[in-house]
Amino acid sequence: MHKRKVRAVILGAGPAGLTAAYELLQQSEVQPLVVEKNPFVGGLCLTARAGDNLADIGGHRFFTKFSKVHDWWLQFLPLDAPNTTDTFITQNRLSRIYYLRRFFDYPVALNLRTFHGLGLKRMLNIIASYLRAKLHPIKPEKSAEDFLINTFGKVLYRTFFKDYTEKLWGISCREISAEWGRERIRGIHLREIVLSVLKAFRPKIKDTFLYPKYGPAQLWQKVADKVLKQGGEFTFNAEVVRLNTSGDKIISAVIRMADGSEQTIEGDYFISSLPVKDLITMLPNVPQNIRQIAAGLQYRNFRSAVVLLNKMLKTHILPDTWLYIQESDVKIGRIQVYNNWSADLLADRTKVLLALEYFCGDNDNLWQMSDEKFTAMAIAEAEKISLIDDKDVIEAYSFKLEKAYPAYFGSYLQFEQIKNYTDSVKNLYLIGRNGMHKYINMDHAVLSGMAVAENIAHNLQDKENIWNIDNSKYLD
């Protein structure tokens, strides 16, 4: 296959980088070369092996309001294709909140099911404080706490949001920017409350989502296969450590291979999905204030105990795809029930495969502790909240995702300065979740990869369209 003359070096083989590579091949004459520090593609969308089973670390539902992205996914894996394992399946989403050892609807609804779970006194308090918040909202709305109180009222916020949000971010909701809540949390409206009370205990309408039969990496491997087939290139086990510049352009990337040797890769365009905090340390001559802001960007890590069981405690298996754990006497943030994502993740479908999920910082004991201690602690916590009995545990594995969540605190409020600086490097484009330091899902990572390919194909200098890819409004 003939090599194209102009080269784009794509840093990172996650969803954003893979999309950029694929779209450059479709839309332009530019040759993509993807550089990835891992030996595999997919980035945060990891399908890991847990004994004989597969575990989707994080639980990745393929859900988007953009038909462009939906159709793009389906060209790599068809939907409900018979007689093949290469297919998306359609899955129902049920993700309830677990609180007071009971289950509550998510998104939170002030309906009779919630009423039944919380009791009359607490429910009346919730309604009164909700109305108070609507009549007298906190102004200006600065923190996530302000946003959540204005949206749900103080009592509902304390009941269903405070503990989970603080587990996720590791700091008080008062210290998190209101922007996070506005982007990620669905509100409730008086009209919906009235309707749901009138409809009493009507069954909850389930959302559906697409899911590759063997977990999210199946889709991203398909994309990578097509990129290779169409002449794109990959270098794995290659950590980008430095970028060399000339004037206002990057001319090459220095990569460190697994054996410690370094190689220099030249290119015409550099598209980065690396955490922007790391990227800034790789560039020469960055002004001191930009270095400082980048150094102050913060993230949350993610640790998951994947546990194979004979059965759960309340029923053999819960119907949920995942549960938000609002109980304040444990540190678990969420529980995935993999059987309800795709039964094909399990070697033996009569068993139950769970992920007990935690959010932590680099220095937290949770992040530092050995795999054995971590899985034992997670199992003990799930037992404490009456979801499993450790006698039913067959095996357990620990998985870690570093920089899983870009945080909207720390130096984030000054992020605009980093954006302006990196935009001033003419042939550098930032894409993706940690690349742009945006709390986005796969669909927006895909959109950012598409946008950069379009810009390069049409020789557009302005990068604003990449920064302005829409934000979704749901929690993951």
Ligand X SMILES: Cc1cc2nc3c(=O)[nH]c(=O)nc-3n(C[C@H](O)[C@H](O)[C@H](O)COP(=O)(O)OP(=O)(O)OC[C@H]3O[C@@H](n4cnc5c(N)ncnc54)[C@H](O)[C@@H]3O)c2cc1C
State the residues that interact with ligand X by CB under 6 A: 11-17, 35-38, 43-45, 58-61, 239-240, 273-274, 278, 302, 401, 404, 432-435, 440-443, 445, 476
Q: Which is nearer to ligand X, 251 or 401 (CB)?
A: 401
Rounded least distance, CB 394 to ligand X, Å: 24
Phi, psi of 472 (to 5 degrees): -90, 170
Rounded least distance, CB 257 to ligand X, Å: 11
- Please list the residues that pair with 207 across neighbouring strands: 93
Q: Which is nearer to ligand X, 143 or 336 (CB)?
A: 336
Q: Between the CA of residue 304 and those of 44, 182, 370, 394, 420, what are the distances in Å?
A: 13, 27, 13, 16, 36
Instruction: Classify strands 297-309 and 393-410 as parallel, antiparallel or unpaired.
Output: antiparallel
Rounded least distance, CB 135 to ligand X, Å: 36
| Nearest alpha-carbon partner for 306 in 45, 43, 44, 58 | 58
Instruction: Classify strands 428-430 and 102-104 as parallel, antiparallel or unpaired.
Output: unpaired
Rounded least distance, CB 112 to ligand X, Å: 29
Rounded least distance, CB 474 to ligand X, Å: 9
Rounded least distance, CB 35 to ligand X, Å: 6
Buried b (16+ CB within 10 A) or exposed e, 137-161: eeeebebbbbbbbbbbbbbbbbbbb
Rounded least distance, CB 444 to ligand X, Å: 7
Q: Which is nearer to ligand X, 65 or 426 (CB)?
A: 65
Phi, psi of 169 (to 5 degrees): -95, -15
Q: Which is nearer to ligand X, 130 or 412 (CB)?
A: 412
| Nearest alpha-carbon partner for 280 in 419, 141, 89, 151 | 419
* Amino acid at position 443, single letter: D
Q: Which is nearer to ligand X, 12 or 267 (CB)?
A: 12
Q: Which is nearer to ligand X, 16 or 456 (CB)?
A: 16
* Amino acid at position 285, single letter: N
Both tokens of residue 345? 């993740």
Q: Which is nearer to ligand X, 117 or 474 (CB)?
A: 474
Q: Between the CA of residue 307 and those of 256, 294, 457, what are the distances in Å?
A: 35, 37, 46
| Nearest alpha-carbon partner for 75 in 61, 86, 64 | 86
Q: Which is nearer to ligand X, 113 or 334 (CB)?
A: 334
Helices and strands, number each (H, E), in the chain = 17, 19
Q: Which is nearer to ligand X, 113 or 222 (CB)?
A: 222
Rounded least distance, CB 148 to ligand X, Å: 21
Whether the Cβ atoms of residue 440 and residue 327 lie closer than 8 Å to each other = no
Rounded least distance, CB 446 to ligand X, Å: 8
- The conformational region for residue 386 under phi > 0 = left, psi -120 to 50 = alpha, else beta, is left
- Please list the residues that pair with 272 across neighbouring strands: 11, 430
